[in-house]
Amino acid sequence: MNNLKVFVLLAGMTALFGVVGQALGGQGGMLIALLVAGVMNFIMYFTSSKTVLHAYKARTLSPEEASGLYATVDKLRQRAGLPMPTVAIAPHAQPNAFATGRNPQHAVVCVTEGLLQLVDQDELEGVLAHELGHVKNRDMFLQTLSATMAGAISNLARFGLYSPTARNEPASPLGPLLALLAPIAAMIIQFAISRQREFKADATGAQISGKPLALASALEKLQQSARRIPMDVSPAVAPLAQVNPLSAFKGLSKLFSTHPSTEERIARLRVIAAAKG
């Protein structure tokens, strides 16, 4: 069901790209916008791990530096049928974790110092399994795809506003309004895809660790800590964290959240635990 929802969202974004392209840029504008967004995201895709680690001030760890953490990741990745990822740590008091890398062969799993001080072993396994779930589900590729489409729509909007149309037709009076609203709509769809992948990573992580309630407990601790302990990190990389490290979204602003509510994630994990008996 999660994969179907993501497919529908991507189809909607593709349709939006087509509508905006024909209205604002014509076929030539569509091609230029897609190429620009594609190149930018292609570069980001292949340099993501270094960029993200730098943004979080993280450093990679050897097995000798953190034997317990390394052994836990190794155990879980074997259960998931994944290659051993690079293990890293970020010097933040806020407990959190993230995964990055363009594919399972180049994956990085990073935890903060605050996480290791807060959670117990079962909760740590739940958190790490969630991040390995992102790796197993190839979410970096999917997020790059959705970001490319969203970026192309934004490029089209700028192209339509500041460049003459590729066709010798009068400009539509709805052009400026479409140019304003289309990037917002694309961003909302992109964030909706991100929220669905968090649910999927929770479910995959629960399967890998076999401890959905431990992951639920960890998420509750992480969310409470995120509200109390600030993290100095760029908003551009904040969505990668297991819980949003910058703020909690409520009400209408939930549309612009890259993460589902922690309460809903916990509720779903409890359903998974109940189904396991």
- Cα separation, 106 vs 276, whole angstroms: 32
Asked if residue 108 lies in contact with residue 101, where contact means CB atoms within 8 angstroms, the answer is yes
Helix (H/G/I), strand (E/B), else coil: 235: coil
User: Which regions of the chain does DSSP assign to beta strands (E)?
Assistant: 59-60, 86-90, 97-100, 108-112
Asked if residue 212 lies in contact with residue 137, where contact means CB atoms within 8 angstroms, the answer is no
CA distances from 111 to 38, 138, 139, 153, 184 (A): 30, 19, 18, 34, 32
Q: How many whole angstroms from its chain centre is CA 124? A: 20
- Cα separation, 262 vs 195, whole angstroms: 11
Which residues make Cβ contacts (< 8 Å) with residue 185, sequence separation at least 6? 16, 153
- Cα separation, 234 vs 232, whole angstroms: 7
Active-site choice (64, 113, 123, 131) = 131
- Cα separation, 144 vs 194, whole angstroms: 11
Write out the DSSP string of 202-233.
HHHHHHHHS-HHHHHHHHHHHHHHHHHS----
Question: Which DSSP category does 247 fall into?
Answer: -
Known catalytic residue: 123? no
Helix, strand, coil in percent for the chain, rounding step 5:
70, 5, 25
The residues assigned a catalytic role are: 131
